[in-house]
Amino acid sequence: MNQSRTFEPADESGTMALGAELAELFAGGGIVYLSGDLGAGKTTLVRGLLRALGFSGRVKSPSYGLIESYTIDGRDIHHLDLYRLGHGEEIAYLGLEDLLSQDSLLLVEWPERGEGWLPAPDWRVRIDDRAGGGRSITVQQTKESTQSA
Amino acid sequence: MQNIIGIETSCDETGVALYNADRGLVGDLVYTQADHAAYGGVVPELASRDHVRKLPGMIRELLDRAEMTARDLDAVAYTAGPGLAGALLVGASTSVALAAALDVPAIAVHHMEGHLLSPLLEDPAPDFPFVALLVSGGHTMLVAVEGFGRYRLLGETLDDAAGEAFDKTARLLGLGYPGGPEVARLAETGDPDRFDFPRPMTNRPGLDFSFSGLKTHTRELVARVAPEDHADVAAGFEQAVAETLAIKCKRALKETRMQRLVIAGGVSANTRLRAELERRLSGRVYYPSLKLCTDNGAMIAHAGWYRRAEANRDGMIAVRPRWPIDSLAG
């Protein structure tokens, strides 16, 4: 299965609202690659997803600490930003295998920095600019994925 | 407890220092891992590997310069958090091992408490109480410091830290790392009023910060201007960050009814921020020396002395990458 959907949020609150749809889509857990330029709204999308799941605390950028983890209703959600990795191998030091439990969800920004070391994604989310403003957000379930939508 | 060595490895700086109960600071060495510039940021594991390489030699040199030996040490204080897990572990394991070998106690120090108490190392030192603004690559927070161990978090960033916003703006403008000095240098020749920038969260009550929207604004601006306009973008961005921080600082003093603001963290070196603070809070801002503003071992040795009652020999290497400042007791 290789299905793809595209959303076109007009602004930041639209991106937040889309996070709620993604929360439902990713309910079974897995790995999500989040791509898009600096400032495109990757962390905003994650914030929307966490809010939809009922998390009301701070959703800080993971850029500095590499990983921000949340436990919501007993389920682990990890938000990673690999931009600052010098080499994909350094993922090994993050203890990624420990984070991949049955229903945990990994949302990974700058996944290309971990190429060759990061497990294959269940979904790819791409955020692009739309001419005239707003964003185009494409959510694609990957071939490799064994998840059913 | 006379001589305390302080070891700081929470991020990219490796710091070691000696604090003497009677004489104050008697030695202070900081090594900045400049190699990180090549990667556009601090590479966590690279950082911890570098701490491993640097620490033993730095400790030896620190003792030599102070004309002391390890046998003169009475306690080993180290940064236990918050920070990068791998980097913290290097400092913590080195410190706990050193303490065990010397048969002296170890003291786990909160990195932010180190920053909050560091102005007391200056002469003259500011009196308690004061409001502290901590602004760096990883943190942006306002803390009411009523006294030792009495810290109240007044506000912090909801998304990006101010230093992170500088680093990311530098990336958007094709500049190097760390972004603060690079953006500031480019901004010197720019017109801060040419482009409009938001002053995030200044028009609503509260003392939290948000710099993510400013980053997005800058990104959209960079996409539609010519390279020769970049200096104006840098100046406008820098001015927006400086004013936003200064407005919140002024509000924090008003809300706490405190008289003095102390700034710390790498971003506190920013000239435009200092000018804004001076303009709005003239005479009420205390600027510690730059050496104490950035990460260093001196503040850890010093805070360790304050925390000497918690010194222990249990040999536990416990780091806390996330450790809220207001969970500390007096």
Domains B3-116+293-327 and B127-287 share a fold: yes
**pLDDT on residue B273:** 96
Is there a binding annotation on residue B115?
yes
- Looking at residues A8-13, what average pLDDT do you find? 92
CATH 3.30.420.40 fits B127-287, yes or no: yes
pLDDT in tens, A44-84: 999 999 999 999 988 988 888 788 889 999 999 999 999 88
Residue in B160, B216, B321 closest to A61 by CB? B160
**pLDDT per position in chain B (330 positions), as tens?**
899 999 999 987 899 999 999 999 999 999 876 555 555 555 655 666 678 888 999 999 999 999 999 999 999 999 999 988 888 999 999 999 999 999 999 999 999 999 999 999 998 899 999 999 999 888 899 999 999 999 999 999 999 999 999 999 999 999 987 888 999 999 999 999 999 999 998 898 999 999 998 999 999 999 999 999 999 999 999 999 999 999 999 999 999 999 999 999 889 989 999 999 999 998 899 988 888 888 999 999 999 999 999 999 999 998 998 888 888 887
> Is residue B35 within 8 angstroms of chain A, CB to CB?
no
Residue A148 lies in a domain: no
The DSSP annotation for A43-101 comes to HHHHHHHHHHTT--S----STTTSEEEEEETTEEEEEEE-TT-SSGGGGGGGTHHHH--
**pLDDT on residue B242:** 97
CA distance A90 to B41: 14
Q: Which residues pair with B5 in a beta bridge?
A: B18, B76
Where are chain B's structural domains? 3-116+293-327, 127-287
Non-local (6+) Cβ contacts of B267 within 8 A are B135, B136, B140, B162, B163, B166, B180, B273
DSSP code for B91 = H
**Contact residues, chain A, for B213 at CB < 8 Å:** 12
Residue in A39, A83, A84 closest to B215 by CB? A39
Residue A92 pLDDT > 80 = no
**pLDDT on residue A133:** 82
Question: Å from B50 to nearest chain A CA?
Answer: 13
Give CATH superfamily name and number for B3-116+293-327: ATPase, nucleotide binding domain (3.30.420.40)
Residue A58 Cα to chain centre, angstroms: 17
Q: Which residues pair with B30 in a beta bridge?
A: B15
Residue in B156, B161, B219 closest to A39 by CB? B219
Question: Best of A60, A67, A117 to disrupt the B interface by mutation (most B CBs within 10 Å)?
Answer: A60
Quick check: B6 and B298 in contact, CB under 8 A?
yes
Tokens of B149: 């161990």
B326 membership: H or E segment, kind and range: none
**pLDDT on residue B43:** 60
**pLDDT on residue A148:** 46
**pLDDT on residue B83:** 85
Q: Could you give the number of structural domains in chain A?
A: 1
- Looking at residues A21-44, what average pLDDT do you find? 94
> Is residue B291 within 8 angstroms of chain A, CB to CB?
no
Find the domain containing A60 and state its range. 4-141
Tokens of A26: 């990713």
Residue A149 pLDDT > 50 = no
SS3 assignment, position B29: strand
What number is the ipTM of this complex? Answer: 0.85
Cβ contact, residue pair A84, B40, below 8 Å: yes
Three-class DSSP labels, B127-156: CCCEEEEEECCCCEEEEEEEECCEEEEEEE
Collect all residues from A whose CB is shorter than 8 A from any CB in B. 12, 37-41, 43-44, 47, 58-61, 63-66, 83-86, 90, 93, 129
- Classify burial at A115, counting beta carbons within 10 Å of its beta carbon; exposed 0-12, middle 13-18, buried 19 or more: exposed
Is there a binding annotation on residue B167?
yes
The percent of residues in chain A predicted with pLDDT above 70, rounded, is: 92
Residue A146 lies in a domain: no
**pLDDT on residue A116:** 87
Global pTM reads 0.88
pLDDT in tens, A131-145: 888 899 999 999 655
> Is residue B42 within 8 angstroms of chain A, CB to CB?
yes
Cβ contact, residue pair A84, B321, below 8 Å: no
Residue A147 lies in a domain: no
Query: CATH number of the domain that A120 lies in?
Result: 3.40.50.300
CA distance B137 to B42: 10
**Contact residues, chain A, for B171 at CB < 8 Å:** 38
B79 membership: H or E segment, kind and range: strand B75-81
Quick check: A105 and A72 in contact, CB under 8 A?
no
Tokens of B303: 């805070």
**pLDDT on residue B41:** 55
SS3 assignment, position B78: strand
